[in-house]
């Protein structure tokens, strides 16, 4: 028995001595140049790249490995090693080895630095693809070893903790132009677990060299299943601008959280709550600035996304070209369901869009091209010019309803129907105009159906076409009106109350544009035909203005009327009434001005045919033409002068100009035209009392001068 005890003690002593010797000798062996060469050769065979390290130490109590300054040697094209670390420390638990289980107590990597390049073919790994392919083809010995691990005597593996401290990753992205370099700094990560069967707890964080930080917490399996929550803080968006094709600018700070579940390559669920502050984004005509928040719950986000989202841009200014602007502070939200169609295009359904007091529903597809469809209930439009600056000059109000409106972005097109439910527009210097009917959108054109315009309770049938919906609007308007109240219309549209009375008929076509900084009247053009029967142009008598102008040429030209007053004291007031039989006009409109071609005024005892211009805004006139008096007026003039046996006839007076306003005309007559007209009456009186008046008023012999000018009796 004593011998047995001595033998056991001896064996234990020898074993302990062997372990001590192994602990002392093994590090020396591992640090030898022979071992270093064999390790480097094996690494080169596996990776296709040279691997170097400063030192290698092993320990037995507990089993451990410490590698100082390992790195993959860079080639001539690389400025730094593609993969390197300051230190790698591995420690294995001793007791689990007795149960054929390798438990990695800890793996600590300090100062790891990875450099990668992204090309159109993907991420370039720090070792050649051939080496990677060769690594996938196991040798006979490796296969045998792998088979051995699957049997009853297989060695089990477990990892308790992996720690990465103060790491960095640099990725040069050569897909975009110019290329972009991303750098992740201060990478700290820890993975803690007990076995391959159970998820590993993860905790990681890093900072971007361009600004901002990212933290991730959760769990993962070695099979790649994730359950992670990622927190993002103050990441600048400016470096991402090159990834938005066509973006003119991108700025702002991104913050929020993202949660992922399922396989890393294709998560089964994603939820996000993100916000951007100090944002500025321009992509073609679309842009926003300010702050915006978004929330989303998405299933299968990579393969076939479905879910819901909510977007709030109330604190942002949004614009689309010059046709839409949402100021900061105006509520703006979008909610909807995320879908993927059969072709794999991402879209949203059940969209509810609220901007200010407006609410619309619809759907959208990302495309390309971008496609959006909207529908609304009856909408109150008061204040909508703040959103649609192109309509600001018209101050729209009233109600409209969008039955269906589909927008496509490439090329821009609009298709659908808008119902006008007492839409009211108030152009500058005009009273409100109410529109009823429907507008049919076709591409960049808008046509009307059953359109009716109402101004001052006067109804006008119209056909409207609007062109260039996505630029400076151009419109064409066909009009038809019969027996309208002329006074109501001139009061509402020309700010001239109680000026023109009578039943008005109006037919024609107008055209114009809506341009920033210009009144709609300035761009108005077209043609109109109008007629007013049995009406009044209050206080206006073109005949009185004409006869009054004759006195402006002195005694000779004004002699007939002066003589009339001298010989009878009677006047022509009974012919100066403002009631007319008809006013007829064919009007060409250009640059907001009416061009009369001609304007015909028919009064009971005279008529006028005029051409020239009439300003729409204030009815200022610049006309010329002829006034024709009938036989009754001609006879009255002769009677007042005292011509005996006079044969009356129609007489014409040429008007050099008629200016002023339509309700207060100012007539100009050329001197020779005035003399010719007066001579008709003066010739009949020559030799009588008229000669005495002429001699008295003008001087002795004036009668003979007049005879030479006028040539005697005329009709």
Residue range 520-563, pLDDT digits in tens: 777 888 999 999 999 998 988 888 888 777 655 434 434 444 54
324-328, 374-378, 399-403, 681-685: the lowest-pLDDT one: 681-685
> Among the residues of 606-670, which ranges form H helices?
631-641
Report the distance separating Cα 276 and Cα 444, nearest Å.
34
How far from 396 is each of 257, 388, 404, 655, CA to CA, in Å? Answer: 43, 10, 21, 44
Backbone phi, then psi, for 147, in 5-degree steps? -65, -35
In total, how many domains does the chain have?
Answer: 1
Quick check: is 678 in a domain? Answer: yes
Dihedral sign for Cα atoms in the order 284, 286, 291, 294: negative
What is the pLDDT, as a whole number, of residue 175? Answer: 85
Quick check: is 531 in a domain? Answer: no
**Above 60 in pLDDT, residue 53?**
yes
CB 211 within 8 A of CB 278: no
DSSP state of 302: T
**Above 60 in pLDDT, residue 578?**
yes
71-85, 296-310, 380-394, 524-538: the lowest-pLDDT one: 380-394
Query: Could you report how far apart the first and last alpha carbons of the chain are, in Å?
Result: 172
**Above 60 in pLDDT, residue 603?**
yes
> Among the residues of 448-605, which ranges form H helices?
486-494, 542-550, 554-557, 559-568
Report the distance separating Cα 532 and Cα 505, nearest Å.
6
Quick check: is 388 in a domain? Answer: no
Domain hosting 610: range is: 536-710
Quick check: is 98 in a domain? Answer: no
What is the pLDDT, as a whole number, of residue 214? Answer: 94
What is the pLDDT, as a whole number, of residue 21? Answer: 41
Report the distance separating Cα 712 and Cα 701, nearest Å.
16
- The better pLDDT of the pair 154, 315 is held by 315
CB 421 within 8 A of CB 403: no
Report the distance separating Cα 416 and Cα 228, nearest Å.
45
Report the distance separating Cα 328 and Cα 184, nearest Å.
35
Quick check: is 636 in a domain? Answer: yes
Question: If you average pLDDT over each of 98-112, 485-499, 591-605, which comes out highest?
Answer: 591-605
- Closest Cα partner for 255 from 277, 271, 238, 278? 277
**Above 90 in pLDDT, residue 253?**
yes
Chain centroid, CA 574 distance in Å = 65
Report the distance separating Cα 402 and Cα 239, nearest Å.
40
**Above 60 in pLDDT, residue 501?**
yes
**Above 60 in pLDDT, residue 245?**
yes
What is the pLDDT, as a whole number, of residue 321? Answer: 72
- The better pLDDT of the pair 225, 715 is held by 225
Quick check: is 524 in a domain? Answer: no
Question: Model-level pTM greater than 0.85?
Answer: no
Three-state secondary structure string covering 219-282: EECCCCEEEEEEEEEEEECHHHHHHCCCEEEEEEEEEEEEEEEEECCCCCEEEEEEEEEEEEEE
**Above 50 in pLDDT, residue 12?**
no
Quick check: is 581 in a domain? Answer: yes
- Closest Cα partner for 168 from 141, 206, 199? 206
**Above 60 in pLDDT, residue 515?**
yes
Report the distance separating Cα 626 and Cα 629, nearest Å.
10
């Amino acid at each position: 028995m004593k011998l047995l005890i001595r033998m056991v003690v001896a064996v234990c002593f020898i074993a302990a001595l062997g372990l001590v010797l192994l602990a002392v000798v093994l590090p020396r062996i591992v640090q030898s140049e022979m071992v270093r060469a064999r390790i480097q050769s094996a690494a080169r065979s596996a990776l296709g790249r040279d691997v170097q390290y400063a030192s290698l130490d092993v320990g037995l109590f507990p089993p451990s490995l410490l590698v100082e300054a390992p790195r993959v040697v860079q080639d001539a094209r690389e400025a730094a090693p593609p993969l390197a670390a300051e230190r790698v420390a591995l420690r294995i638990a001793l007791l689990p080895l007795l149960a054929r289980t390798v438990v990695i107590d800890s793996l600590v990597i300090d100062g790891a630095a990875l450099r990668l390049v992204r090309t159109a073919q993907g991420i370039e790994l720090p070792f050649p693809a051939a080496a990677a392919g060769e690594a996938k083809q196991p040798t006979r010995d490796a296969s045998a070893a792998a088979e051995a691990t699957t049997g009853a005597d297989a060695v089990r593996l477990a990892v308790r903790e992996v720690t990465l401290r103060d790491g960095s990753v640099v990725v040069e992205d050569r897909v975009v132009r110019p290329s972009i370099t991303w750098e992740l700094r201060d990478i700290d990560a820890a993975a803690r677990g007990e076995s391959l069967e159970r998820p590993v707890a993860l905790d990681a964080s890093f900072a971007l060299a361009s600004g901002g930080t990212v933290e991730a917490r959760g769990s993962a399996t070695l099979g790649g299943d994730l359950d992670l929550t990622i927190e993002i803080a103050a990441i600048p968006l400016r470096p991402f601008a090159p990834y938005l094709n066509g973006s003119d600018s991108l700025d702002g700070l991104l913050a929020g959280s993202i949660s992922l579940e399922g396989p890393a390559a294709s998560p089964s669920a994603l939820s996000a709550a993100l916000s951007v502050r100090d944002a500025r984004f321009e992509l073609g005509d679309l842009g926003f600035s300010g702050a915006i928040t978004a929330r989303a719950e998405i299933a299968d986000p990579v393969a076939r996304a479905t879910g819901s989202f909510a977007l709030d841009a109330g604190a942002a200014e949004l614009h689309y070209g010059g046709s839409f602007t949402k100021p900061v502070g105006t509520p703006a939200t979008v909610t909807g369901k995320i879908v993927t169609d059969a072709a794999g295009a991402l879209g949203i359904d059940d969209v509810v869009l609220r901007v200010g007091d407006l609410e619309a529903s619809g759907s959208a597809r990302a495309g390309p091209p971008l496609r959006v469809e909207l529908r609304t209930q009856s909408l109150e439009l008061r204040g909508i010019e703040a959103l649609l600056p192109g309509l600001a000059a018209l101050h729209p109000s009233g109600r409209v309803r969008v039955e269906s409106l589909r927008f496509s972005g490439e090329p821009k097109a609009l298709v659908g129907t808008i119902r006008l439910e007492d839409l009211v527009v108030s152009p500058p210097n005009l009273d409100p105009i109410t529109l009823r009917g429907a507008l049919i959108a076709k591409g960049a054109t808008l046509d009307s159906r059953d359109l009716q315009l109402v101004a001052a309770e006067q109804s006008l049938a119209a056909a409207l076409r609007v062109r260039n919906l996505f630029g400076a609007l151009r419109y064409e308007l066909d009009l038809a009106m019969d027996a309208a109240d002329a006074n109501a219309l001139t009061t509402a549209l020309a700010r001239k109350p109680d000026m023109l009375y009578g039943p008005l008929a109006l037919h024609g076509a107008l055209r114009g544009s809506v341009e920033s900084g210009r009144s709609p009247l300035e761009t108005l053009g077209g043609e109109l035909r109008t007629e007013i029967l049995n009406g009044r142009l209050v206080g206006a008598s073109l005949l009185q203005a004409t006869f009054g102008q004759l006195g402006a040429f002195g005694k000779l030209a004004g002699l007939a009327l002066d003589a009339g007053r001298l010989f009878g004291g009677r006047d022509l007031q009974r012919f100066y009434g403002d009631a007319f039989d008809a006013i007829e006009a064919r009007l060409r409109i250009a640059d907001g001005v009416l061009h009369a071609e001609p304007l015909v005024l028919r009064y009971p005892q005279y008529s006028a045919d005029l051409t020239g211009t009439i300003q729409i805004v204030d009815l200022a006139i610049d006309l010329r033409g002829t006034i024709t008096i009938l036989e009754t007026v001609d006879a009255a003039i002769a009677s007042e002068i005292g011509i005996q046996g006079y044969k009356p006839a129609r007489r014409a007076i040429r008007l050099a100009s008629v200016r002023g306003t339509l309700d207060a005309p100012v007539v100009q007559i050329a001197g020779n035209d005035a003399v010719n007209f007066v001579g008709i009456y003066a010739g009949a009186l020559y030799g009588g009392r008229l000669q005495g008046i002429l001699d008295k008023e003008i001087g002795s012999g004036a009668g003979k001068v007049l005879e030479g000018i006028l040539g005697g009796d005329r009709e």
